Amino acid sequence: MFKKILIANRGEIALRIIRACKELGIRTVAVHSDADADSLHAKIADESICIGRAPSSESYLNMKAIISAAEVTDAEAIHPGYGFLAENAEFAEICQNCGLTFIGPTPENIRLMGDKIAARQSVVQAGVPILPGTKENVPSVDEAQKIAEQIGFPVIVKATAGGGGKGMKVVHSPASLPNLFATARAEARSSFGNPDVYIEKFCEKPRHVEVQILGDKHGNVIHLGERDCSIQRRHQKLIEEAPCPVLNASTRKKLCDCAVGAAQAIGYTSAGTMEFLLDSSNNFYFMEMNTRVQVEHPVTEMVTGIDIIKEQIRSAYGEPLRYKQKDVKIRGHAIECRINAEDPERFSPSPGKIDGYHPPGGLGVRIDSAVYDQYTVLPYYDSMIAKLIVHADTRIEAIKRMERALDEFIIGGIKTTIEFHQRIMCNKDFIDGDIDTGFLERTKL
């Protein structure tokens, strides 16, 4: 097993990886910006090293500084967490060339699944259903109009690279296509340095359902069940749960089998997620693959009892998966709420010093967070400061447990989205499971 791993990330995911490493007997190196010197991951790691100034481009995205930190501390491997460099094929390649193990998939897998057109083509060959759409990038608005007429409105214009809802526009009529097509291309160029877009049929009122995959370097791939991530704001997930409350056994098996088949077809060797849209008739369609550990991985860990980070590390070291598909059992129901340092009404950022911090506890409650009392939430990075996860025997019991845990959660000095999550847990449609990705847009909380 690795003797020392460098974590090329910050916040709760860096702390989560450090904890997994400690339980595996692996020493850890934390990297941090100068603004993050007092961060918990820098304090708890065996070693920490400053790699630059506060802006991500000068620290957590600074490949040279990260590689240098790994070399001077004699780290053998680098875990990128999520975000930052986690899905950067160039960084994974640089790690390999420097004799460092990148704890994630191969650069080839990252490139393939990072290109949405290529990803769609690869899963189709594996027998996975996709929505009608283009097989290549759409170069002009005239071509876009022809394709949209063939597919039938509404359609969605999507950036070929990247994700997170950027470069993505829903088009309901021919008249609105030229402006939205140009806007999508501009957003794609600005966000990903690549203006290419493609077009597919827009699925009305879908659920966002994803399948957790684990692969190793010996050709083994298994799934750990699915998650429902339909509660979103501007394409950003806010609440996730496992399992999906509306899937029947037959559809669940087909969905998970498709996810495993697609991962096997590309020789996937790490933790990853196959993401799907699920329509009102329980038909599912491949959307994209995330070639990294997900923010919402704890809900899967809670229902399976499998530590995804540990398995990812073992796989990167070359060990075969310790589980066969028959060993994976889904027990009960888990829900995760992302707690952000934001105004719960306007969702504007609310950085500042935390004055009073009391996390909830009790049976079936988990907190993944790197904040503490008197910690200063910085304005430079993502606003998520904690993940509150609960587990219970049934979905209704999990909702009640989440309500109770949110009531206990105290974060003073700044505004947070705790109140927002409390309103959702009390919403009848959410309780009934009557949700889709447009839930927040049409629901008055």
Where in the sequence numbering do the catalytic residues fall?
Answer: 292
Amino acid found at 32: H
For residue 276, the surrounding DSSP H or E stretch is strand 271-278
H helices of 155-248, in order, are: 177-192
What strands, in cross-sheet order, belong to the sheet with 155-159?
Answer: 168-171, 155-159, 197-201
Give every CB contact of residue 97 below 8 A, 6+ residues apart in sequence: none
CB count in 10 Å sphere of residue 111: 18
Task: Report the half-sphere exposure of 27 (CA within 13 A, side-chain side).
Answer: 11
In DSSP notation, 59-116 reads: TTT-HHHHHHHHHHTT-SEEE--SSTTTT-HHHHHHHHHTT-EESSS-HHHHHHHHSH
Helices 308-317 and 297-304: crossing angle in degrees, nearest 10, is 100
Amino acid found at 391: H
Helices 89-97 and 107-114: crossing angle in degrees, nearest 10, is 170
